[in-house]
Amino acid sequence: MSERVKEYSDKMQKTIDHLDSEYSAIRAGRANPHVLDRIRVDYYGTPTPIQQVGNISIPDPRTIQISPWEKSILKDIEKAIQASDVGINPTNDGNTIRLVFPELTEERRRDLVKEIKKKGEDAKVAVRNIRRDGNDSFKKLSKSDDISEDEVKDLEDELQKTTDKFIKEIDSMIESKSKDIMTV
């Protein structure tokens, strides 16, 4: 891969990585500790990720258990979870906090699949925008006489192949996550 195309390929990979992190935050009716990744707890005046203030475990497939290092921050963790978009009410027993994930309804599964497809389409648009930016920069190079038109054409072809590869990867991510959500 040429150095000029690699720059755009790296940007496309970042789009894929972002989509992957978005998908890991979507809950599929099973306990997934990644749903807590974006939640911050006020820990001595500093917004701190939940993972850094306690131990997170999964005692059964539909429960996440959070055991804070200090009992004094139980209420803060509970408030942070309630204020987040997780959509699950935490239960606090004085020592630990439990999040019990309900079984998803068919309608909720379909809504999640729509959300997955939308996020996937957004990622495809981002990849195509990166391709457009690359093609524009290649055309500018040919106008400044740094490279020939044939070399520009080769760069554009290589960038198109890279784009196709990433679009195919996004499609397989959409299909995989959708299947995961629809599996009861």
The pLDDT tens digits of the residues spanning 16-33 come to 999 988 887 776 667 777
Cβ contacts of 104-108, under 8 Å, gap ≥ 24: 104/28, 104/29, 104/181
Query: In the listed set 65, 85, 100, which residue is the last one of a domain according to the structure?
Result: 100
- pTM of this structure: 0.71
CATH number, domain with residue 61 = 3.30.1360.40
Q: What is the distance between the alpha carbons of residues 30 and 61, in angstroms, rounded to a whole number?
A: 6
Nearest alpha-carbon partner for 116 in 33, 182, 44: 182
pLDDT (tens digit, 9 = 90+) per residue, 111-149? Answer: 889 999 999 999 999 999 999 999 998 888 878 777 888
- At 162, which amino acid appears? T
Indicate whether 10 and 45 sit together in one domain.
Answer: no
**Containing structural domain, residue 51:** 33-100
Indicate whether 178 and 121 sit together in one domain.
Answer: yes
The token duo for 140 is 């500018």
